[in-house]
Amino acid sequence: MSEAKVFDATAATELVKELRGTFASGRTRSYEWRVSQLESILKLSADHEEEISDAIHSDLSKPALESIIHEIGMVKNSCKLALKELRRWMTPEKVQTTITTFPSSAEIVPEPLGVVLNISPWNYPFFLSLDPVVGAIAAGNAVVLKPSEISPTTSSLIAKLLGKYLDTSAVKVVEGAVPETNALLEQKWDKIFYTGNGRVGRIVMAAAAKHLTPVVLELGGKSPVVVDSKINLQVACRRIIAGKWGGNNGQACVSPDYIITTKEVAPKLVESLKQELERFYGKNPLESKDLSRIVNANHFDRLTKLLDDDKVSGKIVLGGEKDKSKLQIAPTLLLDVPRDSLIMTEEIFGPLLPIITVDKLEDCFDIVNSGTKPLAAYLFTSNKKLKEQFVACISAGAVVINDTTLHLAVSTLPFGGVGESGMGAYHGKFSFDAFSHKKAVLYRSFAGDVAMRYPPYTPGKLRFLKALLGGGILGLIRAILGWS
């Protein structure tokens, strides 16, 4: 039995060289090639829905319904939208020219960047692997996908399916861990797309900087939920729960990270959350089949450390139960946790939800803005003025009013972070744009060649050019007639 081939810097160099040859041939630029590949992704998603769902369950114990809706369905929708709109996205955009270049015409031509790399995470191992690939292919690029080794079953399945369904001269999958990722990052790419945490994001950005490679970084952060009074509390709690625990058991970049509410509202909010959590996951949520498990022992220990912090001792008002043998932690609410505790200074990325109380809700602005800019910020209110103030004053990748995480499903909205929660955006046409260069093209004929632009630069030419550039029609007439 032969040994598996090692993927090192030499192998990575050869891989990129092969893809550059494919791209240089023009193969990936045609509309027909792009459509064929998008249709193939759509077909593999439909043909292997159960197999994909089983692989995700093997890695995360994610319920099948969540995998079908949040992962496979989202990839299908991305493909369908790209297939529907691709011709329009590829069409050059006509733009106006000025009198300076008369007679002329101009357009903006979207062109593929070349050979791109997508490094995907483990928490949505199918969707976040394939969705950027859809954008890269739609834009006409050759692409390498590096799926996460932390979700190995899904990674292996993706490698098998893409090798079977897609053009392997232009689309490659590289499996592995840190050594393989480092080997890829040593190469020169035309764009790197990374989804994950800020620590690795900095490593990716540093590697890209060596080659002046542009990056899209989809990171995370502490996404707040602000809860006002005089709202439908039951609906609000259901939507908070759906975004927190229904979203991969809190292991999602846009998952609600903490709640801010008033001291007056807090008791009612806690009670309503308790009722709805029991309704969704039963009296013993560790036995629920509708909650994903914690991905591995390292993350389990990290979350346990947040709960064991002396500063949050006695703050648990619901949950806290855990079973390391099953990598399960129950949905956990903590009330009035100190803002300098570990759970409030680190991104949680798990099923723990601290609640901070304030005297007046407007204090939320100082609390949110005192930290790094979140990937998403959520507000539940019926107050129009508060909505407007929240949108105006909170800098976040996205703001959602009276729901959580649902903006991901709106293809006409860009999805991305700001500051430490990331840079760049994708989804829908924004994915196409993320992997395209908007090339400016100006067309002129040999007519209309004006001597004024050439030496010798006489005072008369200077007056004419000043009038042309800034004096308007009247100034131009005055210059032609020699009026002062």
Among 66, 71, 180, 218, the active-site one is 218
Q: Which long-range contacts (CB under 8 A, 24 or more apart) does 23-26 make?
A: 23/112, 23/114, 23/115, 23/141, 23/142, 23/170
Taking the C-alpha atoms of residue 127 and residue 117, their distance in angstroms, rounded to an integer, is: 16
Question: By the 8 A CB rule, do 129 and 169 touch?
Answer: no
Q: Using alpha carbons, list the distances in angstroms from residue 151 to 194, 276, 300, 303.
A: 16, 30, 15, 19
Q: Which DSSP helix (H) or strand (E) runs through 258?
A: strand 256-262
Residue 267 tokens, joined: 């008791």
Is-catalytic flag, 218? Answer: yes
Taking the C-alpha atoms of residue 479 and residue 462, their distance in angstroms, rounded to an integer, is: 9
What's phi and psi for 443, nearest 5 deg?
-110, 130
Q: Is the dihedral of CA 277, 281, 287, 288 positive or negative?
A: negative
Is-catalytic flag, 51? Answer: no
What's phi and psi for 460, nearest 5 deg?
-65, -40
Taking the C-alpha atoms of residue 328 and residue 237, their distance in angstroms, rounded to an integer, is: 22
Strand partners, 195: 218
> What is the layout of strands, in order, in the sheet containing 332-335?
316-318, 332-335, 352-358, 256-262, 223-227, 377-380, 399-401
Among 79, 237, 253, 364, the active-site one is 253
Relative to beta strand 332-335, strand 352-358 is parallel
DSSP 6: P
Residue 74 tokens, joined: 């989202």
Taking the C-alpha atoms of residue 9 and residue 79, their distance in angstroms, rounded to an integer, is: 33
Taking the C-alpha atoms of residue 353 and residue 79, their distance in angstroms, rounded to an integer, is: 35
Q: Which residue numbers are catalytic?
A: 218, 253
